[in-house]
Amino acid sequence: MPASPRPSLLGTHLPSFYCPLERDLVHPEAKQVEVRAIAWLDDFGIYPDPVERAWGLATHSTDFSCRIIPGGNVEAVLLFTEWNYWANAVDDWQDSGSDEVGTGAVVEHGARLLRTIEDPGASVLPDGPMTRALLDLVRRTHAMLTPYQLRRFVEGTRDWLLGAAWRAAQAEAGTMPTLNDFVAMGPLANGTRFSLTWSDVARGDRLPAEVLCSPALTALTDAAGFVVSADNDLFSYDKDDHLEPREVNLVNVLAQQENCSPAAAVPLAVALRDRVLVLFMTLRAQLEGGPDSPDGPDGPAGADGELRRHLAALGHYVAGSIAWQTRAPRYASPRNRYELPLAEARFAVRYADAPSVDGTGPPPGLPALASWWQRLRE
């Protein structure tokens, strides 16, 4: 890709990514999904002009959807893809830095969005292309998901909107949160459960609530969300580096805590991310269990087929997110540097053979993460 018109504060290269998971999987119907999703976007007029359309498509939401769900029902993957294009349009509004987009506006819109998903007849959003597209998404989602799946999806959406509101409040106050506060609340904006619900829907799996909500699987899901959020903070850093006050992300939080530059904070972010990924791999293996493993307090020793597929899906979520962000012009040719996205923009990503840290225990001074390690059997 051409040299950026403005250098990155993180340096000339992204760090190597430790990812001992199956990589480069993609849904076999990805091309069909992309064609149909773009037609849906155009039918509803989501983007007001060709420039906004170009930046909307630069999210590569189809690639994201089809990499974290590399198999399963194509109609479910299509609906999830359309949700992602729609949600990225909302995300761009939230991150625009406009004076109109304060905490109050983000909270107000989020509350109305949630009520619309739960009750599309509530009529609490103004008419327009975005609302009409949303109502179509909600109608089809209600028809496809079971009541419990719909509840999970609503909760995942609430996570996303709550995290976005918290970040907006920090920016509005001109404060950078502590590292412990950030790792506890920042990754909510990632909408991990928003995405993972669709992974189960596409496979047709219906894990019981006592399994999905068990302490160990909850910790594993949160750990996956943290890793994906940390990776996104690295890939998307340049996209928001023009904002004042600085964007609330892992790199900037660490830079303030350590009184260092963003570039010097990158190895610290990678070390924390790698430590959590090691926990993720260990805890996932524990939950997969085996016929000779003793039962533990968090569930059965051996995972059945549905649980094994769910655990595999968590790995697809982590690895697929890296592969998607590597190829997304939204990040590789960001809007604050280019008038239009560069279609072939890419990151030259390297994969590390080992984590960047030797420690396997919980990181010191971060009680917000400590409970995840408690789920590991002695």
Q: What is the CATH number of the domain that holds 257?
A: 1.10.600.10
357: phi then psi, degrees, rounded to nearest 5: -130, 155
Q: List Cβ neighbours of 100 (8 Å cut-off, separation of 6 or more).
A: none
DSSP strands (E only) in the chain: 17-18, 351-352
Which residue carries 């909850």 as its tokens? Answer: 218
Per-residue model confidence (pLDDT) at position 335: 94
Residue 154 lies in a domain: yes
127 contact partners, CB below 8 Å, separation of at least 6: none
Q: Cα Rg for the chain, rounded, in angstroms?
A: 20
| 370 within some domain | yes
Range of the domain at 146: 17-339+348-374
| Domains contained in the chain, number | 1
**pLDDT for the residue numbered 204:** 96
Query: What predicted TM-score, i.e. pTM, was given to this entire model?
Result: 0.94
Quick check: is 160 in a domain?
A: yes
Return the pLDDT at 69.
Answer: 98
In a domain, 11, yes or no: no
| Residues of the chain predicted below pLDDT 50 | 290-302, 378
As a whole number of Å, the end-to-end CA separation of the chain is 49
The Cα–Cα gap between 209 and 222 comes to 16
Per-residue pLDDT at 104? 92
- Whether the Cβ atoms of residue 267 and residue 182 lie closer than 8 Å to each other: no
Indicate whether 230 belongs to any domain: yes
Q: Which residues, 6 or more positions from 178, have their beta carbon under 8 angstroms from its beta carbon?
A: 253, 257
pLDDT of residue 282: 96
Backbone angles phi, psi at 111, to 5 degrees: -65, -40
- Assigned domain for 6 exists: no
In a domain, 143, yes or no: yes
**According to the model, what pLDDT value does residue 2 have?**
56
In a domain, 185, yes or no: yes
For the packed helices 192-203 and 61-68, what is the interaxial angle rounded to 10 degrees? 60
In terms of C-beta density within 10 A (0-12 exposed, 13-18 middle, 19 or more buried), how is residue 272 classed?
A: buried
* 229 contacts 187 by C-beta, under 8 angstroms: yes
What was the pLDDT predicted at 96? 58
